[in-house]
A and B are shown apart, each in its own frame.
Chain A
């Protein structure tokens, strides 16, 4: 579905992404990890068409994303940036239904069917009861679920999430990770999410992409990553693996 070939991106003389190549099929839960500044966010933005690569191509469903009409692409590929924060207070249902925007013509308003999709998305994220509440009266976890619903409202085939697990309590991290796996298995969409939570990603993902200084250092199933020597080389800290979880060696 997604074919990344030799993609690089630099701005202000800094090469944020260097010669990344990967192929991603449908119904996959992919964890994108790496130290700060390794280019995870930038790669996601390149896939979301926020930036255009300096070199290389990204193809979606066989067509270069540059050739996709913007709204058609947006109907199939949904992106959630880090810490989304609407400037002015909004209700959850309005936030979620705005995810249907790519389906609307220039002068069209949301139809009942759009509101139905929004309700469905909220239900999928276990946030149906939050519909009429305002974002600024919700907790961090509730807000993340609303924004995830917004992403799902378009029924995308590819979902790109930038640090969705950050600032969530542990119980919510598990809840959210379960939700992501649920979405993949139920809708056959592919989810690529950037995260620092190595352990959680490894526990849930089918595949791990590790970035280091802009390049793709590892593209393998989690078991290949969760080894002390690999971890030391890629992340620079000492750990042992206990029952599939990385435990730092003190």
Chain B
């Protein structure tokens, strides 16, 4: 029943649409273009899968997405977007191309910008998409995430590295940081954002556990980092599609993280 009460964030797309087309009423959305992999996944999970006419180059989940037309990577091709005749374009606030808003206004396509920097923003984002696109689905992400919340007796210090040379890590106010605290561990990084971490501090106060996305940061690169710091740290590679996309699959990431932490607890 509560699903039918519009979430306040639905005002955002309404406002945007209103600004773009002051005279028009919000009409039925039949064709959507998504411009980020996590947005694509959220749109599918929100029940809008059938309406997605095209995605960005990096979107690849679910399987059906791979066959959809692609409109570009870091620079979305406006012509390609226009050729798909979308009623709605959804982009992520991180990595938003500076001229995208203007371009969408020019081709008179409503643009919805979604922010998912924190874990808690994912569920409302999916609801926003649902409302704006007129889809219906049961969004269980909040419950799924809550199920992964664990208090732990030994709260290990976990560091998530996105690159090793130089060392870039997930900070305190990122969704990865939220995942870490959700599953009962603590983020070894106190600083906000995605800062470059000092090798000295890493060596002087190494984390209990080092996580890294297994394809872009190879085990060799991690080995090289540990060699330079002359420390031994338990390092585990994780699936980056789940860990670096703030979308519906974060619950899987949380479950995976719990599994890793349980194993760590058993051996310490």
Direct contact of A and B (CB under 8 A): no
